Structure 1
Amino acid sequence: MSADDPRDLRRRLPLSGSGPATRVAVTGMGVKSPAGSTVKDAYATVLSGKPQAVHVPAFLDLGLPVTMGCPVQGFCPEAYFSKAERRRLDRTAQLGVAAAADAVTDAGPGFAGDPARSGVYVGSGGVSLAAAMELTDHGRVDAAMPVTTVPRIMPNATAAWISIRHRMQGPCVTVTAACVSGAMAVGEAVQAIRAGRIDRAVAGGVDAPLAPAFIAAFARLGALSRRNDAPCEAGRPFDDRRDGFVLGEGAAFLTLERTEDAEKRGARIYGEITGYAVATDAAHIVGPRDDGALLARAMTTALEEAGLTPHDVGHVNAHGSSTRPGDRAEAAALRTVFGGSASGATPPIAAVKGVTGYLLGAGGAFEAAIALLCAGDGLVPPVPNFGGGADSAGLDIVTTSPRRLAPAPALSCSTGFGGQNAALVLDPVPSRWAAGA
C-alpha cells in the first residue's frame, strides 16, 4: 500500500462519524481446527477447498442417524498440558487454552503488559459440552463423582484457564451467543480496547460438540446433513442440494492490542479490526428471518463504523451454514447490502464451513482469522460442493480454486440460533504466508 493510498490515510486518522478513533491490531493467531492445528496448515487447507468431514467411529458404533463430523486434526494435548492438567481440563478447555497459548506466542514476548490492563474474551455455545455429555451418558450421581466435575463443566472454565495461564487480571468474559459467540467475543474485546478499559486482549471462540448425545440432538432438530455415504459431499453452502451442516469442533484465538502499541514494540501486524456490529432478529428461537434484514443491518453498521462503503469490500466470508433457511436468509442480506454497490454485484464470497464443518462458537473467530489472512494475500478460498441454484442468485460464490484480487478489507458474517447476527470488518496488512514465510 502506498503512502498516497486513500485507505491508508483513512487508517491513520480518527474514523469519521460515530466510529472510535483508537485502532486495534491483530498481532497473534492460534487455531485448533479440522483444517489443521497451526494457522499455516489451516489456512492452506481452507485455500485447497478440500472438505474435512469424516466418519466418526463412535457414531458408527452407536448407529446414530448421522455418523460424520469434523474433528480437530493434528492436536497433541501433551505438548501443552501436564498429566494433571489434562485431568482437570476437558476437551473444550484443552482446545481453547492451547489455541490461545499459540496466539500469545505468535504475538511475541512484548505482548505481555500490565496484567490489570489485559483481558480474556471467550465465545462458546454453552457449557463445556463434551464433559457435560459424558456425565449424562454415564449417569453418575454418587459419591464417586470426580472432584474435577464442576470446574470441567463451568461455562467460563476456558476463559478462566487462559487468564490463569497468562496472568491476565482484567476482564475475563465468556460470551454465549450460539454460533455468533466467537465473533462477538472478538468484537467485544475490540470495543473494550477502543473504550480505553484495557490495553490488550486474547479473544476468540471454542467448542467441542462431537459427543453422541449432542449429534443425536442436532439430528433430531433436522440441522445436520444425512449424507452419511459421502461425508466430503455433505457440507455445501448456498448449493440448492444442501440438506444441513456437518458438525465440527475447534478453537481460534487472536491477540488484540492498540495499533500504536504494536507499532512501538515492533510487532508483526496481521491487520486491524475496524468494524463490528451485532443485531438480533427477535423473531424465532432457531429460524432466521427470511429477509435477512437484521444480518444486513449488522453488516451495514460494521462497515459504517469502519468508515467503508460496500464497494470497498474485497471479499465476504459468509456464514454459509448449509441449511436451507439459513443460507436463503443470508443470501437475501448480502443482496440487500451489496445490490446497490457501484459494481452492481456482490464481492467474491467464501464460505469456510464447507471445508471445516460447523464449529459452533469457534466458527466466527476461526473465520475472522482466515478472512484476515486471505484479505492480506488477495486470495478468496473456494466453496466446495457448490453447484448453484435459485437461492444463490446474485451472489458471486467462488468455486474450484482460490480467486486472486488486490488486498482489501474483508467482511466476515456470523449468525446463530436465537436470531443472533454479527459482522466484523478486517483490514489487512499484506502477509508473507503465500510466499512461504
Structure 2
Amino acid sequence: MTKRIVVTGLGATSALGGTVAENWKNLNAGVSGTRRLEHDWVEEYNLPVSIAAEATVRPDTVLDRPTTKRLDISTQFGLVAAMEAWLDAGEPEVDPERLGVDFATGIGGVWTLLNAWDTLREKGPRRVMPMTVPMLMPNSAAGFLSLHFGARAFARTVASACASSVESLDSAYEHLMSGDADVVIAGGAESAIHPITVASFASMQALSRRNDEPETASRPWDADRDGFVMGEGAAVLVLETEEHALARGARIYAELAGTGVTADSHHITANDPTGQGAARAVRAALDAAGRSPDEVTHINAHATSTPVGDPAEFAALETVFGDRVREIPASATKSSTGHLLGGTGAIESVFAVKAIQDRIAPPTINLFEQDPEIGFRASRETQPLGDGPHLAISNSFGFGGHNAVAAFATYDS
C-alpha cells in the first residue's frame, strides 16, 4: 500500500490574528494587516518605509516570562503556533523517537543579534547575555520545539529565504515517507521587522513605499504594485502518516499529497524571468502526488507584489497549466498578511488547507487594476471552489533562487 501523509493539526499567528480561526476569518473578510509602524526607531533612522504587518497578538501575552526571556521573538512566534497546532491535532501520543521537527526561518534571531551588539558597544562584554548565541541561532526554533514537545527523532532547520517553510514541509514529507518518523511538527517563523532589514529591503527597492496608504500598500498582481510589505508571525502543520493518524482516531484536514523543490541558478535575488525553475517545482510536487495539472483546483500564489516577481510566477504557472491557468481560482494572501519571509510558506499552506476544507478561495485585496500580463483568475472576493475533491498548490520562491511548492488534496479515506 502506498504511504500517504496527512495534516492533522494547524496553528498560525500573524497580522490577521493569533489563531488559525482568527486568521482565516479576517483573511476572508478582506482585512489588511498592514499598519504604520509606531516605533521611535522609524524616525530616529529616517527610514524611507514606515509601514509593516506586525503580528496582532504578541507572544509575550501568550507565553510565560521565563520562556520569553530565553527565546528570540521569532522562536516565540514559532512556539505559539506549534502549541496551537499540537492541541488542534489532539496532542498525539507518539513515541518520542518517532516524533520529529522540521522547522524553518529565513533570517532567525536578528533582534537578539543586533540588540546584543548594541549592548556590547554601549555597556561592554560583561553585559551581553549568556543566552545570546542559543537565541540568535537559526536552528533555535527547531531545537526549542524539540525540547518542548519531546521530539527525539530529529530537529531539522531549513533556511532558504522566502521558500524556507515550504522546504520544511518538503523535508517533513520525505522524513515521513522514508519511515524516519510517524509524526512531524513542520512550519516556519519570522520576526525581522527591524531597522536594518527595513533599510536594506528599502535600499533594494523591494518594499512598497505607500507610507500614507498602509492598508492598501500590498498589491499583488496590480498594475500599480511597487513592492512587498514586511510581515511577521509563524505557522505550523502537524503531519502524520495516514496509518498513525487513523490508528489514533485523528481528525484529518487534508492530505499533503506531494512537494517539489528546485533551484533557479539565475541570480542571488531576482527570479528567473522565464519561470522555468518554479515550473519544475510545481511539476515535481504534482508528480510526487501522482496528479496531473488538470486536477489542480486552487492556487495560493507566492505573489509578493514586486514588479518583477509577480510576472515571473505567472509565466511559470502558464508553462505548467497552459491557458487553464486563467481559469483556476487563485489567491495572493500576502495582500492581507504581509510577507512573513521564512514563515510565509507555512501560513499560506495553512490557508491552502483551509481553502480545500471549506471549498472557498480567499480574496486578494488591493487589486484595483490587474496587470494584463498577469492573467490569474484573481479572487478579489471569496469565491466558491465547488463540491467534490480539490487539489491546491502553495508556491514559495526565495532569494538565492529557491523554489518550493506543496500540493494539498482533499482527504478521501
TM-score norm. by structure 2 comes to: 0.95
The CA distance in 2 between the partners of 1:307 and 1:51, in whole Å, is 36
Report the CA distance between 1:275 and its aligned residue.
0.9
Secondary structure, in 3 states, of the residue corresponding to 1:57? Answer: coil
Aligned to 1:4: none
Question: Is 1:124 aligned with 2:117?
Answer: no
User: Which of 383, 391, 394 matches 1:402?
Assistant: 383
Alpha-carbon distance in structure 2 between the residues aligned to 1:69 and 1:325: 21
Question: Aligned to 1:425, which of 396, 407, 410?
Answer: 407
1:402 and 1:345 map into 2 onto residues whose CA distance is 15
CA contact (8 A) 1:133 1:211 kept: no
Change (3 A) 1:334 1:75: same
Distance 2:317 2:118 in 1: 42
CA distance in 2, matches of 1:127, 1:338: 35
Q: 2:29 & 2:57 partners in 1: Cα distance?
A: 17
Q: Secondary structure at the match of 1:244?
A: coil
The answer to whether the Cα contact below 8 Å between 1:382 and 1:403 also exists between their aligned partners in 2 is no
Alignment of 1:158-177 (within 5 A): 158-177=141-160
Q: Decide which of 342, 354, 367 is 2:335's aligned counterpart.
A: 354
Whole-Å separation in 1 of the counterparts to 2:63 and 2:171: 27
How far off its partner does 1:170 sit? Answer: 1.1
The answer on 1:35 being equivalent to 2:8 is: no
Unpaired runs of 5+ in structure 1?
1-13, 15-20, 431-437
What secondary structure, in the 3-state scheme, does the structure 2 residue paired with 1:179 have?
helix
Which deviates further from its counterpart, 176-185 or 210-219? 210-219
User: Does structure 1 retain, via aligned residues, the 8 Å contact 2:108–2:190?
Assistant: no
Deviation, 1:153, is: 0.7
**Residue 92 of structure 2 is aligned to residue 107 of structure 1:** no
Amino acid at match of 2:179: G
Flag the 1:335–1:227 CA change in 2: closer, same or farther, 3 A: same
Q: Is the 8 A contact 1:314 1:405 kept in 2?
A: no
- Structure 1 stretch 125-134 or stretch 72-81: which is displaced more? 72-81
- CA deviations 1:88-126 (Å, max 9, x no partner) are 1121111111111111111113x1311111111111013
Aligned to 2:102, the other structure's residue is in SS state: strand
1:361 aligned partner, one-letter code:
G
Paired AA for residue 91 in structure 1 = I
Q: Does 1:44 align with 2:25?
A: yes
Q: Are residue 391 (structure 1) and residue 366 (structure 2) matched?
A: no
CA distance change for structure 1 residues 240 and 138 in 2, over 3 Å: closer, same or farther?
farther
Distance in 1 (alpha carbons) for counterparts of 2:107 and 2:126:
26
Which range moves more in the overlay, 134-143 or 221-230?
134-143
Aligned equivalent of 2:211? 228
2:390 counterpart letter in structure 1: A
Q: Counterpart of 1:365?
A: 346
Structure 2: gaps of 5 or more residues: none
The Cα shift of 1:71 comes to 0.7
Q: Which residue of 1 aligns with 2:75?
A: 93
Q: Distance in 2 between matches of 1:137 and 1:238?
A: 40
User: Secondary structure of 1:191's partner?
Assistant: helix
1:25, 1:269 within 8 Å by CA — same for their partners in 2? yes
1:26 matched to which residue of 2? 7
Q: Specify which of 229, 233, 240 is matched with residue 246 of structure 1.
A: 229
Q: Which residue of 2 aligns with 1:282?
A: 265
Deviation at 1:154, TM superposition (A): 1.2
What is the DSSP-based 3-state SS (H/G/I as helix, E as strand, rest coil) of the residue aligned with 1:172? strand
Aligned to 1:10: none
Match of 2:35 among 45, 51, 54: 54
Quote the Cα distance in structure 2 between the aligned partners of 1:131 and 1:391: 42
Preserved contact between residue 338 and residue 346 of structure 1 (Cα < 8 Å): no
Name the counterpart of 1:9: none
Of the three residues 103, 125, 136, the one matched with 1:153 is 136
Report the Cα offset of residue 74 of structure 1: 2.4
User: Which of 390, 396, 416 is matched with 2:398 structurally?
Assistant: 416
Where do 4+ consecutive residues of structure 1 move more than 6 Å? none
> Would you say how many aligned residue pairs link Structure 1 and Structure 2?
406
Question: What is the alpha-carbon root mean square deviation over aligned residues?
Answer: 1.6
- Residue identity (%): 36
Question: CA offset at residue 383 of structure 1?
Answer: 0.7
Contact 2:219 2:366 in 1 (8 A): yes
Aligned to 1:298: 281
Residue 310 of structure 2: aligned partner: 327
